[in-house]
Amino acid sequence: MSEPPPSSIYWVGGTLGGLILATVSAATMWVAEKKIPTGKTVGRDVLLGIVLFFLLLQFLPESTIALVTALVAVFTFRVSGGGDSVSASASSPSIDEMEVRVGVPKF
C-alpha cells in the first residue's frame, strides 16, 4: 500500500476549497445582484468551502488528494541550476501513475 500523503496537503486543499467557493460566491453576488459582498458572507463561504472539501475527501480520498497534488504541482516550480530552467516539482505523482480500483473497498 502507498504511503499516506503529507498533512500539509490537507491544509492546502482546505484553503483552496474555501478560496474557490468564496471567490465564486462573491463574483456571483457582484454580477447577479450588483452588491458588494460583505465580510460576513465571504467568511461564511470560506468556511463552507473548507467543510465541503473535507466532505468530498471522505467520499473520494484518492481522487481528491490526486487533484490537490496536481493543482499544487501546477503552481509550484523550482528553479534548478543558474536560474535558466524552470521545472515542475518532482515530488507529486503523475496522473498517469494512478491506478483504478474496482470492487468493494477494504476498510
Radius of gyration of the chain (CA): 18
Residue type for 69, please?
A: T
In a domain, 63, yes or no: yes
Would you state the pLDDT for residue 96? Answer: 60
What is the number of domains present in the chain? 1
Would you state the pLDDT for residue 105? Answer: 77
In a domain, 1, yes or no: no
Would you state the pLDDT for residue 107? Answer: 73
Domain that holds residue 14: 8-85
Helix axes 61-75, 39-59, angle to 10 degrees: 120
Residue 81, pLDDT > 60, answer no
* pLDDT band at residue 27 using 50, 70 and 90 as cut-offs: very high
In a domain, 2, yes or no: no
In a domain, 29, yes or no: yes
Residue 55, pLDDT > 80, answer yes
In a domain, 58, yes or no: yes
Three cell numbers written together for 4: 499516506
Whether the predicted model's global pTM rises above the 0.75 cut: no
Residue 60, pLDDT > 60, answer yes
